[in-house]
């Protein structure tokens, strides 16, 4: 990943994470949202706070897991951050997100979109975990790329919504479509740009994570 793109990824992820902390930590729940969404959040505060907290952890930690410097010079830190990312961010945020998807604003299309996002997020995280436990470094990286592309849906959703409203599209119309658009293009881009066969970054990641004395990572 080019340096400018990596910096932009960090800034966008941390920006949305910080926004979520400020909005859900300092303001009444759902105070900046559509009235119907606010009512839903008020009815399920545990679900929304668990989802927000998990997503904040994933957004804050995820970009740094792709740092070659962290992987090569601070392997143990990389592994511990990965455990926090998958265990708290993806697992906690994904399960809560799946629950909240059944109560999403926008009717059945939005609920299906967010439910599929939560399931894909959980599944890709699980596959990334299985791969690293088996010492399959290249497979682990591919699944982590897919997983963070889904994590990044929290960012793209917040880019698409104001853009749609500014272009004159009604919120009620835009939101169900964005429930799908916030993550499917991310996943396609991840496959086309970063998970291509023989992509040099995959080989570099494998070399950076694998201990010199063993073909498998420490378990």
Confidence class for position 122, pLDDT limits 50, 70, 90: very high
* Cβ atoms 161, 174 nearer than 8 A: yes
- Contact between 161 and 178 under an 8 Å Cβ cutoff? The reply is yes
* Whether the predicted pLDDT of 216 surpasses 80: no
State both tokens at 55: 């997503």
Task: Choose among 132, 7, 125, 17: nearest CA to 67.
Answer: 7
Q: What does the pLDDT look like over 130-144, one tens digit per residue?
A: 999 999 999 999 999
Assess contact for 187 and 150: CB atoms under 8 A.
Answer: yes
Which carries the bigger pLDDT value, residue 172 or residue 31?
172
Question: Is the pLDDT at 164 greater than 60, yes or no?
Answer: yes
Structure tokens at 2: 């080019």
């Amino acid at each position: 990943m080019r340096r400018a793109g990596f910096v932009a990824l960090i800034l966008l992820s941390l920006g949305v994470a910080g926004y979520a902390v400020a909005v859900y930590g300092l303001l009444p729940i759902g105070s900046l949202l559509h009235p119907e969404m606010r009512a839903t959040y008020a009815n399920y505060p545990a679900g929304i706070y668990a989802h927000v907290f998990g997503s904040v952890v994933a957004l804050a930690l995820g970009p740094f897991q792709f740092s070659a410097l962290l992987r090569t010079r601070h392997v143990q830190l990389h592994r511990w951050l990965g455990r926090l990312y998958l265990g708290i961010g993806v697992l906690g945020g994904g399960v809560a997100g799946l629950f909240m998807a059944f109560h999403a604003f926008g009717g059945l299309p939005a609920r299906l979109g967010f439910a599929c996002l939560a399931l894909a997020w959980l599944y890709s995280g699980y596959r990334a975990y299985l791969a690293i436990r088996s010492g399959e470094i290249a497979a682990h990286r591919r699944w982590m790329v897919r997983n963070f592309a889904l994590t990044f849906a929290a960012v793209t959703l917040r880019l698409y919504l104001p853009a749609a409203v500014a272009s004159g599209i009604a919120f009620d119309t835009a939101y169900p479509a964005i429930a799908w658009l916030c993550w499917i293009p991310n996943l396609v881009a991840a496959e086309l740009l970063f998970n291509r066969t023989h992509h040099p970054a995959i080989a570099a990641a494998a070399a950076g994570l694998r201990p010199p004395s063993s073909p498998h990572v420490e378990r």
